[in-house]
Structure 1
Amino acid sequence: MPSKAIVSEVSTLSCSNSWRNYYFLKIVTEDGIVGWSEFDENFGSPGVGHIIRELSHRLIGQSAHFHEHIREDLRNVTRPGSGGVVGQAIGAIENALLDVKAKALDVPCHVLLGGKMRDKIRVYWSHCVSYRTRTEHFPPGIRDESGVRQIAREVREKGFSALKTNIFHYDEAGRIEGWSPGFSRPHEPGRNVERRTRKDLRKHLQIMREEAGPDIDILLDLNFNGKTEGYLSFLREIEDLDLFWVEIDTLDPRALAYIRSKSRHPISSCETLIGLQQFLPFFREQAIDVAIIDTPWNGVWQSLKIAAAAEAHEINVASHNFYGHLCTMMNAHFSAVVPNLRIMETDIDRIAWDGEIFTHEPEIKDGYLIVPDRPGWGTEPVEAALAKYPPSPMIDMPKRTPIPRLAI
Structure 2
Amino acid sequence: MAKIKLIEYFRVLPRWLFVKVTDEEGQYGWGESTLEGHSEAVEGTLQALSKRFQGYEADDIEHIWQTAWRLGFYRGGPVFMSAISGIDIALWDLKGRHLGVPIYQLLGGKVRDKVSVYGWIGGDRPSDVEAAGKARLAQGFKAVKMNATGDINWLDSPAILESSVQRFKAVKSIGLDAALDFHGRLHKPMAKQLAKALEAHHPLFIEEPLLSEHAEGIKHLSGLVTCPIALGERLYNRWDVKRFLEDGSVDVLQPDISHCGGISEIRRICSMAEAYDVAIAPHCPLGPIALAACMQVDISTPNFVIQEMGLGIHYNTEAGEYDITSYIKDPKVFEVKDGYVDALTGPGLGIEVDEEVVRRVSKNTEPWKPKEFYGVDGSIREW
Q: Same fold (TM over 0.5)?
A: yes
Partner of 2:144: 163
The reply on whether 1:358 has 2:332 as its aligned counterpart is no
Amino acid at match of 1:129: G
Q: Is the 1:295–1:330 Cα contact (8 Å) retained in structure 2? A: yes
Task: Report SS of the residue matched to 2:221.
Answer: helix
Structure 2 distance, partners of 1:258, 1:369, is 36
Amino acid at match of 2:6: E
Partner of 1:128: 121
With the length of structure 2 as denominator, give the TM-score of the two structures.
0.88
- Matched positions, count: 364
Partner of 2:166: 203
Write out the 4+ residue segments of structure 1 that deviate beyond 6 Å after TM superposition.
Answer: none
Structure 2 distance, partners of 1:253, 1:45, is 28
Q: Please tell me the root mean square deviation across aligned C-alpha atoms, in Å.
A: 2.3
The reply on whether 1:72 has 2:66 as its aligned counterpart is yes
Deviation at 1:108, TM superposition (A): 0.9
Amino acid at match of 1:238: L
Query: For residues 347-386 of structure 1, what are the structure 2 equivalents within 5 Å?
Result: 347-351=310-314, 352-354=321-323, 355-361=325-331, 362-386=334-358
Deviation at 1:390, TM superposition (A): 4.3
CA 1:240–1:371 in 2, change beyond 3 Å: closer, same or farther? same
Q: After superposition, what is the alpha-carbon deviation per residue over 1:228-285, rounded to whole angstroms, capped at 9, x for unaligned?
A: 2231121122232221111124223332121111112111112210111111100000
Partner of 1:49: 43
Which of 194, 219, 239 is residue 277 of structure 1 equivalent to? Answer: 239
CA 1:219–1:193 in 2, change beyond 3 Å: closer, same or farther? farther
Q: Is the 2:10–2:359 Cα contact (8 Å) retained in structure 1? A: no
CA 1:323–1:391 in 2, change beyond 3 Å: closer, same or farther? farther
Unpaired segments of 5 or more residues in structure 1?
131-142, 169-177, 182-190
Partner of 1:293: 255
Greater alpha carbon shift after TM alignment, 349-358 vs 243-252: 349-358
Q: Is the 2:3–2:55 Cα contact (8 Å) retained in structure 1? A: yes
Structure 2 distance, partners of 1:121, 1:87, is 26
Structure 2 distance, partners of 1:331, 1:386, is 21
Deviation at 1:335, TM superposition (A): 0.4
Structure 1 distance, partners of 2:181, 2:131, is 20
With the length of structure 1 as denominator, give the TM-score of the two structures.
0.83
Query: For residues 9-408 of structure 1, what are the structure 2 equivalents within 5 Å?
Result: 9-17=6-14, 21-42=15-36, 47-125=41-119, 127-129=120-122, 145-168=126-149, 178-179=150-151, 192-195=154-157, 196-210=159-173, 212-213=174-175, 216-248=176-208, 249-298=211-260, 299-351=262-314, 352-354=321-323, 355-361=325-331, 362-390=334-362, 396-401=368-373
Deviation at 1:330, TM superposition (A): 0.5
Task: Report SS of the residue matched to 2:22.
Answer: strand
Amino acid at match of 2:361: Y
Amino acid at match of 1:228: K
Structure 2 distance, partners of 1:402, 1:230, is 17
Q: After superposition, what is the alpha-carbon deviation per residue over 1:71-95, rounded to whole angstroms, capped at 9, x for unaligned?
A: 1111123332432211111122111
Q: Is the 2:17–2:39 Cα contact (8 Å) retained in structure 1? A: no
Structure 2 distance, partners of 1:395, 1:98, is 27
Task: Report SS of the residue matched to 1:294.
Answer: coil
Task: Report SS of the residue matched to 2:280.
Answer: strand
Greater alpha carbon shift after TM alignment, 46-55 vs 322-331: 46-55
Q: Is the 1:220–1:243 Cα contact (8 Å) retained in structure 2? A: yes
Greater alpha carbon shift after TM alignment, 224-233 vs 338-347: 224-233
Deviation at 1:199, TM superposition (A): 2.6
Amino acid at match of 1:247: E
Q: Is the 1:16–1:392 Cα contact (8 Å) retained in structure 2? A: no
Amino acid at match of 2:133: A
Q: Is the 1:36–1:380 Cα contact (8 Å) retained in structure 2? A: no
Task: Report SS of the residue matched to 1:341.
Answer: coil
Structure 1 distance, partners of 2:140, 2:353, is 28
Q: Is the 2:126–2:166 Cα contact (8 Å) retained in structure 1? A: no
Deviation at 1:227, TM superposition (A): 2.7
Partner of 1:172: none
Greater alpha carbon shift after TM alignment, 69-78 vs 116-125: 69-78
Deviation at 1:367, TM superposition (A): 1.1
Amino acid at match of 2:198: I
Structure 2 distance, partners of 1:29, 1:343, is 34
Structure 1 distance, partners of 2:83, 2:38, is 14
Deviation at 1:45, TM superposition (A): 6.3
Task: Report SS of the residue matched to 1:400.
Answer: coil
Q: After superposition, what is the alpha-carbon deviation per residue over 1:259-317, rounded to whole angstroms, capped at 9, x for unaligned?
A: 11111211111221011111110000001111111112221111111111111111111
Task: Report SS of the residue matched to 1:192.
Answer: coil
Deviation at 1:393, TM superposition (A): 6.0
